[in-house]
Chains A and B, each alone.
Chain A
């Protein structure tokens, strides 16, 4: 017995001492960013395996593919058209065996050509936010207010990395800039679509950098030139820019700010350039006469191409329709403190005909609809309709491609309503639980919803409000709809576990469960 115990002890000691030198990659912190919906793919970014996994739902059988990115991904964002994915990796210092020296990088991945290697741009600092131009030509990486993490010694919150995505990385691409600050830091960056400033030969993308009491305009085509700072405060409460909408045809932008008196119109006009570092444009500012502290704005072009700005000004109990060219405006009295404006129809080439107003912060039990046809004509009486509801409005969401709006009545999202903007009628929808995740089919035919405590996906056919549901094998965490109308249900498993439902009327045997796709072939991977 003593001998046997001795043998056990010897073996135990050997087991404890026998170190075969495990690579540190297997002990790294792992964060999975995603699921991130792209056009027909769903992407997951793995910060430990330094790779992006794509689940392509284009064909009947899902295809899983991977592409490598740099060390320690911290942020990912799809392009507005969902054809590209942009990932920021923090990089690494080679302190231990198996680690490498790698600077923070921005990775551009063309989801339509997964076989091509991701394009990496060295951005110098571990930024954790990305602003993207609508045409995917420019990206600006910047810091969020909180910053990425506690690592590092110094952090310059006003630093930007301006990346020309149409050009390969070089000594001048990206351009690192620190914008002028008056004590505030960027809260957000909006990039304009290409805008032609009258008198200048080429269309350019302008960055509008939002920070407390400041608006900074930067010409991304010439990032080495001086930025232009616009002070927004008037000595009273801090003015916090919240929203920018662009009018590229007139090289202008409309800025809505908290605690501002009016909507600020920024018109870019040509200017003489004395030195190479000066700009060949300058902003011309105008306050559009909302006159009451706008809480939300929307911009639209009427059938004649004339641009209008709709602004809600609760302080004056009005909604203001402003001619963007002349700054003439028409006030429409409305009792509720409106803070949400939606235009219908949305997107497409057809100009909007109706505007939906909701007072969400005030929990009002009604919404209003304004007919926009001929609204600018002072001889035409405004047609404002108030729709009374049974429950207060907590959120309003437009249904894509449809003249419908989903109204959320409670914080738990269990009581919903569907507002038909054509008939201006509402229909209630009751859920069995909290609507933790929802999406609309791309053609707006179905509302797709899930709650994490019920192993089902619910569908509502928005044509006739007929509800159906689909029994899952596992509880859902997030539900997404791809551009080809397939439904992707993520189950929140670190290994990757998802159910793919081909369409809203599919049966269970037509669906497929994908399991373990985030760790595919990880045992065969070289550390």
Chain B
């Protein structure tokens, strides 16, 4: 412990970060609450934007505001007969507190809230297809590790790994069959049964590029 403290004290002063941040990468999110529709995890990509907030903090600490968009999808099967497709777009805004003690290395803790837009499609073996889409709130907490290949005062570029948990409210899903007749067709009134609540929350991991400028 003492050695770690000495090491921290002896560390070189890091460059003050540039005010903007852009991150892109791919992500994977386990879906423990969506087991009925897929055994797979959600996989996809995302992009994030950050802005360094001008607040007084202890040395090596920075506070960043951030907004991110994440899109991901998964396929699966229910009972070996119903093919399922899940697609999710998550939009969040929040902040991360960044600790940057060494050049080329930074650790952040992030919190964000937002909404996700989930869509679910079910296809059966007879060619019938039903789908639904809906919005639901999410909250995200994560830890980020930045390893920077370039870490200068005005510009930084490196890799970011992020591990966290996305908590999502179950989204009520009522898949309905698409009716293919012309738009002026008068259909028989339909009463749809709810499939239940689709929970796309779970632990996630993202990995990609981060740049500050």
Contact = CB atoms under 8 A, between A and B. Distances in A.
B37 A512 contact: no
Contacts of A472: 188
Contacts of A493: 124, 126, 128, 177
A28 interface: yes
Contacts of B26: 7-8, 11-12
12 contacts: A11-B43, A11-B206, A20-B31, A27-B39, A64-B193, A473-B179, A494-B82, A494-B125, A509-B188, A523-B198, A524-B170, A527-B35
A4 B208 contact: yes
A18 B41 contact: yes
Contacts of B30: 18, 20
B209 interface: yes
Interface string A11-43: 110110010111100111110000000000000
A48 interface: yes
B102 interface: no
Contacts of B181: 473
A515 B132 CA distance: 13
A79 interface: no
Contact of B130 (A30, A516, A523): A516
A contact residues, range = 35 or more
- In the A-B complex, the 8 residue pairs with the smallest Cβ-Cβ separation, listed nearest first, are A523-B196, A30-B79, A524-B196, A11-B26, A15-B28, A22-B39, A494-B124, A516-B193
A15 B188 contact: no
B197 A515 contact: no
B202 A515 contact: no
Contacts, number: 157
A523 B41 CA distance: 17
B196 A525 contact: yes
Contacts of B79: 26-30, 48
A332 interface: no
Contacts of B207: 7, 10-11, 14
Contact of A523 (B36, B81, B206): B36
Interface of A: 3-4, 7-8, 10-12, 14-15, 18, 20-23, 26-30, 48, 62, 64, 472-474, 492-497, 499, 508-509, 511-517, 519-525, 527
Contacts of A515: 130, 176-177, 190-193
A519 B81 contact: no
Contact of B159 (A7, A509, A522, A525): A7
A30 B176 contact: no
B22 interface: no
B194 A495 contact: no
Contacts of A495: 82, 122, 124, 128, 130, 175
A4 B211 CA distance: 13
A521 B188 contact: no
Contacts of B190: 512-515
Interface in B86-143: 122, 124-126, 128, 130
Contacts of A10: 207
B191 A62 contact: yes
Nearest to A62: B191
Given A20-B202, A493-B128, A520 B31 contact: no
B58 interface: no
Nearest to B173: A523
Contacts of B186: 508-509
B193 to A, nearest CB: 4
Contact of B195 (A11, A23, A26, A522): A522
A62 to B, nearest CB: 7
Given A15-B43, A473-B188, A495-B128, A516 B176 contact: yes
Given A27-B79, A494-B125, A524-B196, A11 B176 contact: no
B32 interface: yes
B174 interface: yes
B142 to A, nearest CB: 15
B27 interface: yes
Nearest to B33: A523
Contact of A26 (B36, B197, B202, B205): B36
Contact of A15 (B32, B41, B179, B199): B41
A508 B188 contact: yes
Given A513-B190, A520-B193, 12 more contacts: A4-B24, A11-B28, A11-B206, A15-B43, A18-B30, A18-B41, A20-B30, A30-B79, A493-B177, A520-B195, A523-B34, A525-B36
